[in-house]
């Protein structure tokens, strides 16, 4: 067994925390930060987090093994959270063991945070009966596949050696495990006794409300939550506002005395709150505001998502790669990106800009344009598309339908996209707007032909965008199967050489798009505003924010 010490206790986090606090300036005044991070949260349960607002609030209430912090220069760094230190062991069978030594931290009711709290939370997250959208975060943990296939949750290789020692065994060497998995609010600890007690309270409240009472979640009254993070919910008015107070039980330093969340149904409403001085932070900015920033020469932040067409490769005619390739080549991405707004750009691959690559260059920059979407290429692409379709198994008897969720520019995109297919190839496709739930059901059951979706990743790594398309992945809703692709992803899982791993990731993306398993359309950028007078904001590249280090800057 090769033993490697990867993370040292306290040294880095103490240095960074000191820098952040020094940059804030010391003040005795009470400072509550008013923010608008979007609409009301949909859940306070870490297992079900889905929106940026969900993750932002949950990340304020709970803390995982690792956490994000920011230096005075604004650089984001991963440091120890509930873990005081971490050891990594590379085992002879190719697995990797992480041993987390927990700090002396307390829940908000004074009880100790233990390794069993992580075991319970992680087993619950992976359990298929939980139906968590975040279960795949733990796909690298040994035993994950067995649990997802119906095995017992304790098959997940997460063990409490004692109250302060947590052992996790991974199936390979995943350098992003600490920085992406262990920082996600979804992998925060939970107390089993607290969840059970609150469930009983919810059931009692339902019964007292009478026959027509709506079912209540265990977290229905968030002021009763027992949490281990920097804040507690002191007041909650659904759909309107929520107040978080600094927790006296939190182990670290907090730059402010609390947070006040105001909810807005649209980015325009959120901006109006900021413009009126009602809040000092807002996300995201309206399109017009972001386009103004671009015109002023400011660089926006890439969003880790790509709006993409999914082909159902298990149905005719999309079981024929030539048909998929023809429709992909016939897409005018420049036109679609223009319809999506001034901050959108034509997709150059499935993996968007902003994902780490080689050194200071990100993955997309080093990978280049795999779709050849420039105006100069488009005429040649159309000629190739016509030839491919003529040689394929496609004919006019197919009645094709394109599904999309009617949000933002999706309806315009659907109309323009199907118009391009008709003009270039003579392929007629009907469009149909569906709800998010209907879209999810259609993809899971395979009851669709084409679908426009925003492909995101649970982790800021190219592998997270690519692994859902392996033949054995439960997320492979397009039915893609290519042995060479599977082999590349297996090599990536066990690669010890980062250069070789990156090369395989680029090869895998190129193969996926060569087979036209999916058709990326465009990517987008985003921006936010923190009013002058505050400092220390931290943002996870996946889209949520940490306000723990934000403090009022003294004059």
Show me where the domains of the chain are located. 2-191+527-552, 301-526
b/e code 420-457 from CB counts within 10 Å (16+ = b): bbeebbebebebeebeeeebeebbeeeebbbbbbbbeb
Identify the band that residue 87 occupies on the pLDDT scale cut at 50, 70 and 90: very high
The CATH code for residues 301-526 is: 3.10.105.10
Q: What SS3 state is found at 129? A: helix
DSSP 106-117: B-TTSPBP-HHH
3 has pLDDT over 70? no
7 has pLDDT over 70? no
Question: Which residue, among 130, 175, 137, has the nearest Cα to 158 in the 3D structure?
Answer: 137
**Backbone conformation region of residue 516, classed left if phi is above 0, alpha if psi is from -120 to 50, else beta:** left
285 has pLDDT over 80? yes
60 has pLDDT over 90? yes
Contact 124, 117 (CB under 8 A): no
Which residue bears the tokens 């309270």?
201
Tokens of 208: 């007292």
Instruction: Please state, rounded to an integer, the average pLDDT across all residues of the chain.
Output: 92
Question: Which residue, among 485, 501, 481, has the nearest Cα to 493 in the 3D structure?
Answer: 501
Distance between CA atoms of 36 and 24, rounded to whole angstroms?
22
Which residue bears the tokens 């901050």?
343
- Sign, CA dihedral 56-192-178-136, equals negative
pLDDT of residue 212: 79
Identify the band that residue 72 occupies on the pLDDT scale cut at 50, 70 and 90: low
Tokens of 429: 């496709």
Contact 25, 553 (CB under 8 A): yes
Contacts of 73 (CB under 8 A, 6+ apart): none
Higher pLDDT, 30 or 503: 503
Distance between CA atoms of 68 and 70, rounded to whole angstroms?
7
Distance between CA atoms of 312 and 449, rounded to whole angstroms?
5
Higher pLDDT, 69 or 373: 69
Which residue bears the tokens 């980062």?
498
The helix (H) or strand (E) run that includes residue 22 is: helix 11-24
Distance between CA atoms of 388 and 384, rounded to whole angstroms?
6
Phi, psi for 295 (deg, rounded to 5): -65, -25
Distance between CA atoms of 464 and 40, rounded to whole angstroms?
28
pLDDT digits (tens, 9 = 90+) for 406-463: 999 999 999 999 999 999 999 999 999 999 999 999 999 999 999 999 999 999 999 9
State mean pLDDT over 514-539. Answer: 96
9 has pLDDT over 60? no
8 has pLDDT over 70? no
pLDDT of residue 27: 44
Identify the band that residue 141 occupies on the pLDDT scale cut at 50, 70 and 90: very high
CB atoms within 10 A of CB 98: 23
pLDDT digits (tens, 9 = 90+) for 200-215: 999 999 888 887 778 8
Asked which of 71-80, 127-136, 418-427, 496-505 is least confident by mean pLDDT, the reply is 71-80
Higher pLDDT, 297 or 99: 99
Burial of 272 (0-12, 13-18, 19+ CB in 10 A): middle
pLDDT of residue 555: 60
pLDDT digits (tens, 9 = 90+) for 486-515: 999 999 987 878 899 999 999 999 999 999
Q: What is the pTM of this model?
A: 0.90
417 to each of 83, 332, 333, 375, how far by Cα in Å? 49, 8, 9, 16
Highest-scoring range by mean pLDDT, 227-231, 359-363, 497-501:
227-231
480 to each of 320, 444, 508, how far by Cα in Å? 11, 14, 13
pLDDT of residue 317: 96
CATH superfamily for 2-191+527-552 is Dipeptide-binding Protein; Domain 1 (3.90.76.10)
Identify the band that residue 24 occupies on the pLDDT scale cut at 50, 70 and 90: low
Asked which of 223-232, 398-407, 486-495 is least confident by mean pLDDT, the reply is 486-495
The helix (H) or strand (E) run that includes residue 86 is: strand 83-90
22 has pLDDT over 80? no
């Amino acid at each position: 067994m090769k033993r490697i010490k990867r993370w040292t206790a306290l040294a880095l986090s103490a240095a960074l925390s000191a820098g952040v606090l020094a940059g804030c300036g010391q003040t005795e005044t009470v400072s509550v930060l008013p923010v608008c991070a979007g609409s009301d949260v949909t859940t306070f349960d870490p297992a079900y987090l889905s929106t940026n607002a969900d993750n932002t609030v949950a990340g304020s209430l709970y803390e995982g093994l690792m956490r994000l912090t920011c230096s005075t220069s604004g650089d984001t760094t991963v440091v120890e959270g509930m873990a005081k230190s971490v050891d990594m062991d590379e085992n002879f069978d190719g697995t990797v063991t992480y041993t987390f030594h927990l700090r002396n931290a307390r829940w908000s009711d004074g009880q100790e945070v233990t390794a069993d709290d992580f075991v319970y939370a992680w087993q619950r997250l992976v359990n298929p009966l939980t139906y968590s959208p975040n279960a795949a975060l733990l796909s690298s943990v040994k035993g994950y596949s067995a649990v997802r296939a119906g095995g017992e949750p304790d098959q997940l290789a997460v063990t409490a050696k004692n109250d302060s020692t947590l052992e996790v065994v991974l199936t390979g060497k995943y350098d992003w495990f600490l920085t992406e998995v262990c920082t996600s609010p979804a992998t925060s600890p939970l107390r089993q006794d607290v969840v059970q007690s609150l469930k009983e309270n919810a059931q009692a409240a339902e019964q007292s409300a009478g026959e027509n009472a709506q079912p209540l979640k265990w977290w229905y009254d968030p002021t009763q939550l027992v949490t281990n993070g920097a804040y507690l919910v002191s007041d909650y008015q659904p759909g309107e506002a929520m107040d978080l107070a600094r927790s006296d039980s939190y182990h670290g330093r907090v730059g402010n005395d609390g947070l006040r969340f105001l909810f807005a149904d649209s980015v325009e409403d959120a901006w109006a709150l900021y413009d009126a001085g009602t809040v000092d932070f807002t996300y995201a900015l309206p399109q017009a505001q972001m386009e103004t920033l671009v015109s002023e020469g400011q660089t926006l932040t890439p969003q880790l998502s790509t709006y993409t067409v999914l082909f159902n490769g298990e149905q005719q005619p999309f079981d024929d790669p030539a048909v998929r390739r023809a429709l992909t080549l016939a897409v005018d991405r420049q036109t679609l990106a223009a319809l999506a707004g001034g901050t959108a750009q034509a997709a150059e691959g499935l993996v968007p800009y902003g994902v780490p690559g080689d050194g200071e260059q990100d993955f997309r920059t080093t990978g280049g344009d795999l779709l050849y979407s420039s105006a100069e290429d488009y005429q040649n692409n159309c000629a190739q598309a016509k030839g491919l379709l003529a040689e394929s198994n496609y004919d006019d008897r197919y009645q094709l339908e394109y599904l999309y969720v009617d949000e933002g520019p999706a309806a315009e995109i659907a109309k323009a996209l199907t118009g391009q297919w008709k003009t270039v190839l003579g392929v007629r496709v009907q469009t149909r707007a569906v709800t998010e739930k209907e879209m999810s059901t259609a993809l899971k059951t395979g009851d669709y032909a084409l679908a426009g979706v925003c492909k995101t990743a649970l982790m800021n790594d190219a592998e997270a965008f690519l692994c859902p398309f392996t033949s054995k992945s439960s997320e492979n809703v397009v039915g893609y199967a290519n042995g060479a692709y599977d082999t590349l992803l297996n090599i990536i899982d066990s690669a010890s050489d980062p250069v070789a791993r990156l090369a395989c990731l680029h090869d895998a993306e190129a193969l996926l798009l060569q087979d036209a398993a999916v058709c990326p359309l465009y990517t987008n950028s985003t921006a936010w505003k923190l009013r002058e007078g505050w400092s220390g904001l931290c943002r996870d590249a996946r889209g949520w924010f940490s306000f723990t280090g934000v403090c009022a800057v003294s004059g």
